[in-house]
């Protein structure tokens, strides 16, 4: 696959902001029939620009043996979508552009254009996903909130799916520190509808909502697994708080593993079916999480020593094994900036 390499290069060497013409062309290309993220990337690699790829599409379809040429999105349609998006405060961004979560740009099937609404700076910070059951236990909801609060205080952005249950708890507890909601539908089709207030609170406080779907797209069942790859792809690791067997959160965990992200799971009683999935993940090698420090300890080798330094100042952690040292006077805000400066994207040895 050329796609993976191309994505990685984009993410490491941020592209200039796209010209309006190129953004329109790219939106046309990804909106055209038979073009998904992987095909888009292959076409761009082969033909250099979206415009050149659009011109070759009919010919390619014929040579590929397609019974009929797929529909190609017109420039007018693309312009109309961009205009409608702007009215909602939604920008369509390419991997490498400011506001496109940097890690998300590194996955094989990264959205060629991502609809981003909210604070650009938050979208650029290191993220940890917290996901889990819609019908979670009281303990699960409480733990998700506690974990989200502590990871937020440690400088991480909490990313989740805006669903009922664990997602909701994780978002609510990290509204103040910055949280990202990943939508399965378009930005004007919030699901579940009763979470529009939660999303408004998220956006009010420097949070972000992202989607790869067009405006007006009502999420269908199959859109949720597809959406889940964005949650894991944008994050350093995914914490599954409660999950029954065969639940959607396990799909997110599987995608995280495939994408090379850390997988974390919170244990529970063997007699509680709501934690059968998380216990199974731990048996399969996921890192067991009973406190935020378990997540931070696993991420230190990835994101660097600054996370270790941050920890002393973060409230709510067990301090038992802290070494002696000068008191940490950094504010949560300064900590967040330090983590943001570190950047979540691996840097080539040559740099």
- Enumerate binding residues for a copy of itself (CB under 8 A): 137, 139-140, 142-143, 266-272, 275-276, 279, 282-283, 288-291, 294
Total length of the chain: 351
Give 138 or 327: the residue with its C-beta nearer to a copy of itself.
138
Q: Tell me whether residue 285 or residue 326 sits nearer to a copy of itself (CB atom).
A: 285
Alpha-carbon span 262 to 293, nearest angstrom: 14
Nearest approach in angstroms of CB 202 to a copy of itself is 25
Question: In the bound complex, what is the minimum distance in angstroms from residue 276's beta carbon to a copy of itself?
Answer: 8
Helix segments in 185-289, DSSP class H: 196-204, 223-234, 248-258, 276-283
CB of 270 to a copy of itself, least distance (A): 4
- The CB-of-137 to a copy of itself minimum distance in angstroms stands at 8
Measured distance CA(254)–CA(238) in Å, rounded: 10
Tokens of 58: 């009919």
Using alpha carbons, list the distances in angstroms from residue 254 to 62, 238, 285, 288.
Answer: 36, 10, 12, 16
User: Smallest gap, in angstroms, from Cβ of residue 258 to a copy of itself?
Assistant: 23
Identify which of residues 6 and 267 has a Cβ nearer to a copy of itself in the complex: 267
- What the block records as the tokens of 300 is 């230190």
Residue 282: CB minimum distance to a copy of itself, A: 6
Q: Which is nearer to a copy of itself, 107 or 131 (CB)?
A: 131
In this structure, the number of other CB atoms found within 10 A of the CB of residue 154 comes to 26
Q: Among residues 114 and 265, whose Cβ is nearest to a copy of itself?
A: 265
DSSP structure class, residue 55:
H
* Omega before residue 192 within 30° of 0, cis: yes
209 prior amide bond cis, ω within 30: no
The least distance separating a copy of itself from the CB of residue 268, rounded to whole angstroms, comes to 5
* Smallest distance, a copy of itself to C-beta of residue 289, A: 7
d(CA 230, CA 212): 9
Q: What does the block give as tokens for 286?
A: 């996921």
Which lies closer to a copy of itself via its Cβ, residue 45 or residue 291?
291
Q: Is the dihedral of CA 192, 195, 196, 202 positive or negative?
A: negative
Q: Do 275 and 242 form a contact (C-beta atoms < 8 A)?
A: yes
Burial of 56 (0-12, 13-18, 19+ CB in 10 A): middle
Alpha-carbon gap, residue 198 to 195, rounded angstroms: 5
Report the residue number, 152 or 186, with the smaller CB distance to a copy of itself: 152
Closer residue to a copy of itself, CB minimum distance, 98 or 291: 291
């Amino acid at each position: 696959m050329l796609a993976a390499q191309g994505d990685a290069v984009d993410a490491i060497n941020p592209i200039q902001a796209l010209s309006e013409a190129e953004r329109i062309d790219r939106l046309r290309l990804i909106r055209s029939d038979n073009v998904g993220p992987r095909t888009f990337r292959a076409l761009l690699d082969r033909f250099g620009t979206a415009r050149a790829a659009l011109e070759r599409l009919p010919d390619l379809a014929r040579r590929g043996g397609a019974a009929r040429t797929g529909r190609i999105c017109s420039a007018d349609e693309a312009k109309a979508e961009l205009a409608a998006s702007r009215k909602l405060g939604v920008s369509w961004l390419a991997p490498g552009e400011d506001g496109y979560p940097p890690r998300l740009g590194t996955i094989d099937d990264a959205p060629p254009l991502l609809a981003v609404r909210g604070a650009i700076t938050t979208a650029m910070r290191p993220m940890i996903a917290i996901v889990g059951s819609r019908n979670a236990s009281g303990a699960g909801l409480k733990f998700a909130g506690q974990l989200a609060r502590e990871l937020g205080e440690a400088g991480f952005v909490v990313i989740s799916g805006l669903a009922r249950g664990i997602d909701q708890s994780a978002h609510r507890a990290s509204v103040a520190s910055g949280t990202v909601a990943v939508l399965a539908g378009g930005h004007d089709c919030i699901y579940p509808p009763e979470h529009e207030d939660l999303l408004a609170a998220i956006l009010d406080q420097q949070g972000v909502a992202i989607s790869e779907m067009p405006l007006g797209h009502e999420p269908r069942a199959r859109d949720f697994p597809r959406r889940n790859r964005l949650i894991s792809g944008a994050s350093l690791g995914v914490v599954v708080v409660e999950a029954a067997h065969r639940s959607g959160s396990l799909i997110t965990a599987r995608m995280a593993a495939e994408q090379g992200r850390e997988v974390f799971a919170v244990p529970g009683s063997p007699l509680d079916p709501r934690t059968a999935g998380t216990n199974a993940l731990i048996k399969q090698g996921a890192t067991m999480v009973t406190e935020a420090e378990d997540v931070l300890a696993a991420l230190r080798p990835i994101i660097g020593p600054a996370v270790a330094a941050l920890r002393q100042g973060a409230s709510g952690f067990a301090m038992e094994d802290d070494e002696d040292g000068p008191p940490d006077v950094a504010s949560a805000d300064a900590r967040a900036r330090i983590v943001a400066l570190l950047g979540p994207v691996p840097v080539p040895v040559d740099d």
